[in-house]
């Protein structure tokens, strides 16, 4: 069996008397799209925050490529190659597409101006941003200097996903990427996710949208009451099964091996 | 992808809408247009307004507040506000004057100490805002009072007289000295103000630091999630603002001639006025650093023009008040497009 890219064992996180994560396990294989589904309050976001470094679990272990990993901050997780596209997208509307793609990791000029005064290499950043966007088929975005606030919801999502795909070397986590989008734009974002997988990056997809999950996920992690209830194959189970597991109306019989 | 047209919501843009779109793309044009129109208006209405002497005087008069407005706009770009800028400036000038004139410390060291005090106050403001997570308005309202108290304590409420500065520490008045350029009289204080804006322009538009300042002002949470160390950048902004206040302190001694603990009481609000009239959003993240410079000059132009027309001083305040309200109203109108 191949090594899991990202895995977690017995993650626990308590907020006062509330246990948001209760001995949760997690496994992500190379090159797969793993959907994480669960009812509101099941602890999905807490799990994702732990994996992306936004919170630190009280107990349990996270392993990246088989080695124990401790993410003190989202920055630490990013430096290890885990990129997260948050539901809020974490874009700055007043800045350009190119500025947003390089936010927090701008490229300086290599000459003295860059080394001594921190002057940015705008031409190079624009070129890389344009390359990354066209690799993912986001050619509809014409002007890389356009402000993000002038883009549609789907285009903004596209910029955020392209940013994650451009810099994520190990894992891309997508939190509800289609929640705010219309039918046509959702379609484009789903295609974009498949493109990212085709480039070999494994993806964690958090979504409430069962048709989307069943369409593109390779495996589904069903989250319930702060832990993983089961891992299911979308080809073997129906959407109503998944919803039933999620809500506790039904208990899964056979469960996929992690 | 082919798109079947379901409905078309196009209509001819009215003139107002065209102007709105133009100004949305180039928001700094608003204060530029106001400046051009007001200069043209006063050129016709006020005798001697367009004389080289008067235009030079306007620049000299806005030099100190303009420099303070540069510090203020940095903080406002991060969606904060700094109510302590004038108190910091007076504190720094009192430290410079006290050390150099009253205690006989070598003048360059006294000046360095005053500027260092500016850095220190910026560090205090920035630390309170980032570590204790206090709102900038409250933090700097508090430190405003504290710094004023320090000013009174250090100065003993005494003014250091111009003659005493001339006798023992003329370097303190460096920025009051001038040179002639054609008919224009330019003080070094004006050059300092322009230099501060030039450096900030490069830093804000061409460095990673500048991009991060804008990103934090636009949406601090998004900036943090995108990997920007928000607190570190915010602290650097307050420290830089403090540094600029220290430079403004040196400039102010040259402008006023003396060091008075009760001078520049209104400079706080004047700096915010310049920023607002220039068109930097008080909500952060938007606006050019050129804006407060133009804003400060607009206020100077109105004050000078009205005075030359022989109008009572109260109408200068009246005009400034309307300028603020109109500037913000125009800003809101332009921004309707973005939403």
Per residue in A129-142, pLDDT tens? 888 888 877 766 56
Q: Does B227 touch chain A (CB under 8 A)?
A: yes
A103 and A166 in a common domain: no
Q: Does residue A72 form part of some domain?
A: yes
**What CA–CA distance (Å, rounded) separates B59 from B187?**
9
Q: Could you tell me the two tokens for A96?
A: 């350009």
Q: Does residue A134 form part of some domain?
A: yes
Q: What is the structure's pLDDT at A54?
A: 86
CB of A194 within 8 A of CB of A9? no
Q: What does pLDDT average to over chain B? A: 91
Q: Does B124 touch chain A (CB under 8 A)?
A: no
Selecting from A88, A105, A118 the residue whose C-beta is nearest the C-beta of B227 gives: A105
Based on its alpha-carbon atoms, the radius of gyration of chain A, rounded to whole angstroms, reads 19
β-strands B184-187, A33-38 pairing = unpaired
Q: Could you tell me the two tokens for A64?
A: 């990246």
The enclosing H or E element of A26 equals strand A18-28
Question: Which pTM does this prediction carry?
Answer: 0.89
| Structural domain boundaries, residue B161 | 54-264
| Structural domain boundaries, residue A138 | 95-145
B9 to chain A, closest Cα gap in Å? 17
A119 and A219 in a common domain: no
Q: What is the structure's pLDDT at B193?
A: 97
Percentages (nearest 5) of helix, strand, coil residues in chain B: 75, 5, 25
Give how many domains chain B has, as a whole number.
Answer: 1
- B339 has a pLDDT exceeding 70: no
Q: What is the structure's pLDDT at B71?
A: 97
Q: What is the structure's pLDDT at A142?
A: 65
Q: A92–B209: do the CB atoms touch at under 8 Å?
A: no
Based on its alpha-carbon atoms, the radius of gyration of chain B, rounded to whole angstroms, reads 22
Choose the final residue of a domain: A113, A129, A145: A145
Give how many domains chain A has, as a whole number.
Answer: 2
Q: What is the average pLDDT across B296-300?
A: 94
Q: What is the structure's pLDDT at B5?
A: 47
Q: Could you tell me the two tokens for A241?
A: 């099964």
Q: Does residue B83 form part of some domain?
A: yes
Angle value at C-alpha B68, between B124 and B335, nearest 5 degrees: 100
The DSSP secondary-structure symbol of B98 reads I
A194 and A84 in a common domain: yes
> Is residue B99 helix, strand or coil?
helix
Which one is predicted more confidently, A189 or B145? B145
In this prediction the ipTM stands at: 0.84
Q: Does residue B32 form part of some domain?
A: no
A179 and A131 in a common domain: no
Highest mean pLDDT among A40-49, A75-84, B8-17, B94-103: B94-103
Q: What is the structure's pLDDT at B2?
A: 42
Q: B226–A91: do the CB atoms touch at under 8 Å?
A: yes
Q: A119–B207: do the CB atoms touch at under 8 Å?
A: yes
Q: Does residue A253 form part of some domain?
A: no
Selecting from A75, A117, A149 the residue whose C-beta is nearest the C-beta of B227 gives: A75
Q: What is the structure's pLDDT at B1?
A: 40
Which one is predicted more confidently, B2 or B209? B209
The DSSP secondary-structure symbol of B307 reads H
A240 and A162 in a common domain: yes
Q: A94–B285: do the CB atoms touch at under 8 Å?
A: yes
Q: Which residues, given as ranges, of chain A have pLDDT below 50?
A: 258
A164 to chain B, closest Cα gap in Å? 10
A216 and A107 in a common domain: no
A198 and A132 in a common domain: no
Per residue in B231-289, pLDDT tens? 999 999 999 999 999 999 999 999 999 999 999 988 999 999 999 999 898 888 888 99
A120 contacts in chain B (CB < 8 Å)? 206-208, 211
Choose the final residue of a domain: A80, A113, A145: A145
A227 and A184 in a common domain: yes
Confidence of residue B25 (pLDDT cuts 50, 70, 90): confident
Candidates B175, B236, B191, B187; CA nearest to B210 is B236
- Tokens 């005798």 belong to residue: B47
CB of B273 within 8 A of CB of B325? no
Q: Does residue A30 form part of some domain?
A: yes
A189 and A87 in a common domain: yes
Report the length, in residues, of chain B.
339
Q: What is the structure's pLDDT at B3?
A: 46
Q: Does A119 touch chain B (CB under 8 A)?
A: yes
Q: Does residue A1 form part of some domain?
A: no
Q: A94–B214: do the CB atoms touch at under 8 Å?
A: yes
Candidates B151, B162, B148, B164; CA nearest to B102 is B164
A162 and A135 in a common domain: no
A14 and A109 in a common domain: no
Taking the CA atoms of B230, B236, B239 and B245 in sequence, report the sign of the dihedral they define: negative
Q: Does A166 touch chain B (CB under 8 A)?
A: no
**What CA–CA distance (Å, rounded) separates B81 from B77?**
9
A75 contacts in chain B (CB < 8 Å)? 227, 229
Per residue in B43-77, pLDDT tens? 999 888 999 999 999 999 999 999 999 999 999 99
């Amino acid at each position: 069996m191949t090594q899991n890219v990202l895995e977690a064992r017995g993650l626990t996180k308590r907020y006062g008397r509330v246990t948001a994560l209760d001995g949760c396990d997690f496994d992500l294989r190379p090159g797969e799209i793993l959907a994480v589904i669960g009812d509101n309050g099941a602890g999905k976001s807490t799990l994702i925050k732990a994996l992306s470094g936004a919170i630190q679990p009280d107990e349990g272990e996270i392993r990246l490529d088989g080695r124990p990993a401790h993410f003190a901050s989202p920055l630490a997780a990013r430096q290890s190659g885990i990129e997260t596209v948050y539901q809020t997208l974490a874009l700055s509307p007043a800045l350009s597409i190119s500025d947003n793609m390089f936010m927090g990791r701008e490229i300086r000029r290599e000459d003295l101006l860059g080394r001594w005064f921190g002057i940015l290499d705008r031409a190079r950043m624009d070129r890389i941003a344009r390359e990354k966007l066209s690799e993912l088929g986001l050619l509809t975005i014409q002007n890389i200097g356009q402000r993000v606030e002038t883009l549609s919801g789907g285009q903004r999502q596209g910029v955020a996903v392209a940013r994650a795909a451009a810099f994520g070397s190990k894992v891309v986590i997508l939190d509800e990427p289609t929640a705010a989008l219309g039918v046509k734009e959702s379609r484009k974002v789903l295609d974009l996710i498949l493109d990212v997988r085709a480039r070999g990056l494994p993806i964690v997809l958090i979504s409430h949208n069962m048709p989307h999950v069943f369409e593109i996920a390779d495996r589904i992690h069903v989250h319930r009451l702060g832990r993983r209830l089961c891992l299911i194959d979308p080809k073997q189970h129906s959407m109503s099964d998944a919803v039933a597991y999620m809500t506790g109306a039904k208990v899964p019989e056979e469960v996929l091996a992690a | 992808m082919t798109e079947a047209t379901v409905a078309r919501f196009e209509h001819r843009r009215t003139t107002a809408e065209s102007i709105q779109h133009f100004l949305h793309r180039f928001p700094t044009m608003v204060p530029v247009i106001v400046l051009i129109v007001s200069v043209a208006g006063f050129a016709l209405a006020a005798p001697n307004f367009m004389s080289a002497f008067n235009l030079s005087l306007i620049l000299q008069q806005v030099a100190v507040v303009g420099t303070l407005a540069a510090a203020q706009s940095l903080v406002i770009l991060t969606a904060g506000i700094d109510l302590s800028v004038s108190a910091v400036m007076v504190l720094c000038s009192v430290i410079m004057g006290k050390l150099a004139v009253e205690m006989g410390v070598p003048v360059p060291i006294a000046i360095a100490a005053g500027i260092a005090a500016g850095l220190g106050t910026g560090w205090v403001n920035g630390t309170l805002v980032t570590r204790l997570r206090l709102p900038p308005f409250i933090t700097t309202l508090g430190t405003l009072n504290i710094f004023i108290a320090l000013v009174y304590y250090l100065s003993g409420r005494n003014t250091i007289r111009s003659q005493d500065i001339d006798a023992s520490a003329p370097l303190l008045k460096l920025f009051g000295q001038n040179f002639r350029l054609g008919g224009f009289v330019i003080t070094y204080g004006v050059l300092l103000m322009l230099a501060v804006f030039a450096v900030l322009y490069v830093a804000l538009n061409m460095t990673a630091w500048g991009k991060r300042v804008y990103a934090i002002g636009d949406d601090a949470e998004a900036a943090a999630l995108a990997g920007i160390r928000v607190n570190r950048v915010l602290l650097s902004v307050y420290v830089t603002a403090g540094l600029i206040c220290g430079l403004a302190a040196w400039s102010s001694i040259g402008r006023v001639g003396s060091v008075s603990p009760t001078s520049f009481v209104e400079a706080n609000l004047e700096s915010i006025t310049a920023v607002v009239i220039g068109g930097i959003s008080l909500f952060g993240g938007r606006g050019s650093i050129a804006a407060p410079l133009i804003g400060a000059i607009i206020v100077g132009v109105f004050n000078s023009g009205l005075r030359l027309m022989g109008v009572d001083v109260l109408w200068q305040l009246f005009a400034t008040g309307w300028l603020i309200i109109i500037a913000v109203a125009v800003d809101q109108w332009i921004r309707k497009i973005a939403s």
